[in-house]
Structure 1
Amino acid sequence: MKALPRRTLLAAALGAALAAGAPLAQAADTPITIMVGGINKIIYLPAKLTEALGYFKDEGLKVELQSQPAGVDAENQLIAGAVQGVVGFYDHTIDLQSKGKEIEAIAVFGKVPGEVELVSTKAFNAGFKSMADAKGGKTLGVTGLGSSTDFLTRYLADRAGVASKEYSLLPVGAGATFIAAIKQDRIQAGMTTEPTVSELLKTGDAKVLVDLRTEEGTKAALGGLYPAASFYVQNAWADSHKAEATKLARAFSKTMQWISTHSAEEIAEKMPKDYYGSDKALYVSALKASLPMFTKDGRMPEGGPETVLKVLATYKPQVKSGNINLAKTYTNALVAGK
């Protein structure tokens, strides 16, 4: 029997796969686009670091990192199919499931939020010294309405006995826009991350009100570990692109292991200069304050999803009434995948 040309055999195999409903793997030369909810934030540092260490390339992946200051906007890009994955807060997976969207974290970077509720020094001197003092029409800054900083701020206020009508939330982004909002007194307090925290503490424009960079501070404020920074994708994409999802999770897992065995100075050396500008020492200091929040291998910390669900269910009707299946919001199966 005459041998069929190789191209004909490939076409036949492709047709058979389609007929059987088998998902097609993403073409090797097609970039996987990942949206990061603020790429220069230290909580999301593993995204850029994975690229810098060459771990995406080692896995045979072509990855394009994009930045979107607010996590809620990044998740919208994911749902719309404009990007394949998001580096953002794990709590979005639960919130979205309550709205009928299935998203799962396949690598977890932070076992705690890494966020800090800062109060302006002016407001602190006027008596704003705990979340209970948010009463009386104070304005609290968040990155965006519907963002994780929004979720957490509402919960901290509620736990301190402050009703939502007694304060207001203002989306001010992160970095320079957050700093300006504090200095201009457009917000009296707000939630942000490193290196913004260290910048405001250094200039004396703000003080720490609630510290969610450590396990101790997070447990005291939220009642348990609160896994936050993570890499999540649509469940359907992970199912239809198992090889790519596994390689991505494995690359991030390698990065988390690298972080756990290197110093803040060594990590800073791998980051782009524009991440720390003219004050590298401040960046290293911010890194040192942040290192305890990272997982060592990209796995979801035990008990973490339950804490996040408890926080969201406190004030989000959809989550409270929805039948949330936490097992569908994350998986540890891919971080050590072969």
Structure 2
Amino acid sequence: MPARAAEPEQLAIMVGGINKLIYLPARLAERLGYFRDEGLDVELQSQPTGIDGENEMLAGAVQGVVGFYDHTIDLQARGVEVRTIVVFSQVPGEVQLVAAKRVDTIRSMADVRGKTLGVTGLGSSTSFLTKYLAQRAGVPSTEYTLLPVGADSSFIAALRQGRIDAGMTTEPTVTQLLKAGDAKVLVDMRNVDGTRAALGGTYPASSLYVQTTWLDAHPREASKLARAFVRTLRYMHTHSAAEIAAQMPAEDVGNDRELYLSALRASLPMYTADGRMPADGPPTVLKVLAGFNPDVKGRHIDLSRTFTNRFVDGVKP
């Protein structure tokens, strides 16, 4: 009898908003067949925020999360060991927008006193970053309101309805609101220069992180995931926005293909080419979190335990 082909290994990964461009490598790896090439059957699940994905991982419902690296620091401060094994973006890809009707009164983060600021969720990376930007501008968190409004259509509705005066979101929502004239850019963290100006360094953000106990028990699976994602990042650096968009499902591209392409072109500079953690990244993220997060402030954080380049470094050119 002919030998039966081995069944692919099944893994579940939670994505903090699967149609956000900051997390595009997850969907693209699936569409390019790179998980399958590694003998993996990866189920990509989606939650509206990174904090939801984190909770699913800690509950054991998924093996990994595609979310922001800063969660690994926050979790270590709370006694949970999590490591990023592939870094997708060296900057947050987030943009602080101000509603068009508020541009005369909110010209910088120093003007957010008494205002309502939209974030995807309380405890999410958008809330971390919003608090830091306001604090850096001299506005303590007691002098404005954070309102969780989700992402995509719910964020757009909150801005248009006046429930938020400003808010932090990602592409393609940013380009959609700018094109419609509903918002203006207040802080742009879609590229390295803008991020360094806002935060003082690169800010590794979108990444794949897993619990350290899982990683120690499954180095083979981690290596396969790393290879699939590094191949994806290399693809993104050697193909045009139009070629990348052609790989994506229709529901991600939406009805306005030109808008999607414009948003994607604006986002491409943020992605890493090799999945490695930038050297100045972890200290910048720790500085941001220690500025206001009571779990992190004043605590010793061992940054070497929040990420590893071991698996991406093992991927052959």
TM-score above 0.5: yes
- Distance apart, 1:250 and its partner CA: 1.2
Give deviations 1:170-214, integer Å, cap 9, x for gaps.
000000000000000000000000000000001000000000001
- Distance apart, 1:29 and its partner CA: 4.5
CA distance in 2, matches of 1:32, 1:336: 22
Matched, 1:140 2:117: yes
Give deviations 1:251-298, integer Å, cap 9, x for gaps.
101111110111111110011111122100100000000000000011
CA distance in 1, matches of 2:50, 2:313: 26
Equivalent residue number for residue 17 of structure 1: none
Q: Which moved more, 1:311-320 or 1:144-153?
A: 311-320
User: Residues 8 and 39 of structure 2 are in contact (CA less than 8 Å); yes or no, is this contact kept in structure 1?
Assistant: no
User: Residues 50 and 252 of structure 1 are in contact (CA less than 8 Å); yes or no, is this contact kept in structure 2?
Assistant: yes
User: Residues 71 and 89 of structure 1 are in contact (CA less than 8 Å); yes or no, is this contact kept in structure 2?
Assistant: yes
CA distance in 2, matches of 1:145, 1:189: 16
Task: Report the TM-score, using the length of structure 2 for normalisation.
Answer: 0.96
Aligned equivalent of 1:254, options 216, 231, 255: 231
User: Residues 250 and 336 of structure 1 are in contact (CA less than 8 Å); yes or no, is this contact kept in structure 2?
Assistant: no
CA distance in 2, matches of 1:336, 1:283: 32
Matched, 1:305 2:282: yes
CA distance in 1, matches of 2:237, 2:253: 21
Aligned equivalent of 1:32, options 5, 8, 11: 11
- Distance apart, 1:28 and its partner CA: 4.7
CA distance in 2, matches of 1:297, 1:247: 15
Partner SS for 1:319 = coil
User: Residues 105 and 329 of structure 1 are in contact (CA less than 8 Å); yes or no, is this contact kept in structure 2?
Assistant: yes
- Distance apart, 1:129 and its partner CA: 1.1
CA distance in 2, matches of 1:29, 1:335: 21
CA distance in 2, matches of 1:277, 1:334: 34
**Structure 1 outlier segments of 4+, above 2 Å:** 27-30
Equivalent residue number for residue 18 of structure 1: none
Share of identical aligned residues, percent? 65
Partner SS for 2:214 = helix
Aligned equivalent of 1:182, options 159, 169, 182: 159
User: Residues 9 and 39 of structure 2 are in contact (CA less than 8 Å); yes or no, is this contact kept in structure 1?
Assistant: no
Partner SS for 1:331 = coil
Equivalent residue number for residue 74 of structure 2: 95
Matched, 1:323 2:295: no
CA distance in 1, matches of 2:226, 2:9: 18
Task: Specify the structure having the higher radius of gyration (Cα).
Answer: 1
Residue type at the aligned position of 1:201: L
CA distance in 1, matches of 2:228, 2:9: 18
Partner SS for 1:32 = strand
Task: Report the TM-score, using the length of structure 1 for normalisation.
Answer: 0.90
Equivalent residue number for residue 43 of structure 1: 22
Aligned equivalent of 1:232, options 209, 214, 218: 209
CA distance in 1, matches of 2:255, 2:125: 30
Equivalent residue number for residue 254 of structure 2: 277
Matched, 1:104 2:86: no
Q: Superposition RMSD on alpha carbons, in Å?
A: 1.0
Partner SS for 2:296 = helix
User: Residues 106 and 249 of structure 1 are in contact (CA less than 8 Å); yes or no, is this contact kept in structure 2?
Assistant: yes
Equivalent residue number for residue 103 of structure 2: 124
Point out where structure 2 has 5 or more consecutive residues left out of the alignment: 1-5
Residue type at the aligned position of 2:103: F
Equivalent residue number for residue 3 of structure 2: none
Matched, 1:243 2:209: no
Equivalent residue number for residue 80 of structure 1: 59
Aligned length: 310
Alignment of 1:148-227 (within 5 A): 148-227=125-204
